[in-house]
Amino acid sequence: MTRRLLWTSACVLLALLAFPRTGSAGIGEIILEMSGPQFVGGGLECKFTLMGTLEQCYAIVPGVARERSAKQRIRLSLEGTGYFSTGKNSDGTDYEVGRIWMLAFDPMLEFVSSERGNVTVYHGFMGVSYNLFMGKGFDPFSNVALKLRPIGVRFKDFAVEYNIRFYSNRFTPDEFGQPALPTTNGMAEAVHSFSFLIPLGKKKTLAP
């Protein structure tokens, strides 16, 4: 992994955080189980109509939130998130808290299946997750997964999303500077996570 790739990934995340500030909200995600360190993190998630109109943004950075009134059934969700390892062991390997970091960029197409009053139900049916890992004791590396969102539910300004990432190859301890476990090499893996979108301040609705 070159410094150029690290710089590019950092620029992508910073660019996603550069939206106009009109309120505040928060997004956090916990990756429940994977063949590597468990991660928790936060970042930015924005949803757009296919015509490019911004519907809403949630960000862990205070002061970032934006919403427009125009809504469509099919929309594009863009997420930029930073994570750190929680210290939870995996396959007998001890991962330290905060020793491993991950940057992720996740574009996804979503379908809104129901809008009744203050409750919106939606599903991500086509997405990709690009992940960059870095930390102490190993060289930075990247991985790509197919990402689906079986269900997301929004009630007023709060939302929770269930996500699945499908990796063609499981993570191995040696990628993170730990002793290798050859029995896990070359195996596919499904990684489950939950995203929580929580408002932190007053929201402003913008006209289309």
For the stretch 37-62, pLDDT in tens is: 889 888 888 888 888 887 777 765 44
Q: Which of 156, 175, 200 is nearest to 42 (CA)?
A: 200
Residues 150 and 123 sit within 8 Å (Cβ to Cβ): yes
Write down the pTM of the prediction: 0.75
Q: Give the per-residue pLDDT at 4.
A: 47
Q: Give the per-residue pLDDT at 72.
A: 64
Q: How many domains does the chain have?
A: 1
Q: Give the per-residue pLDDT at 22.
A: 30
CATH (domain of 109): 2.40.160.20
On the CB side of 102, how many CA atoms lie within 13 Å of its CA?
A: 26
Give residue for tokens 């500030």: 21
CA–CA dist 117, 100 (Å, integer): 42
Q: What residues in the chain have per-residue pLDDT under 50?
A: 1-26, 61-70, 200-208
Give the domain range for residue 64.
3-206
Q: In 115-133, which positions are buried (b, 16+ CB within 10 angstroms) versus exposed (e)?
A: eeeeebebbbeebebbbbb
Phi and psi of 189, rounded to 5°?
A: -150, 140
For the stretch 175-186, pLDDT in tens is: 888 877 665 556
Give residue for tokens 């790509």: 144
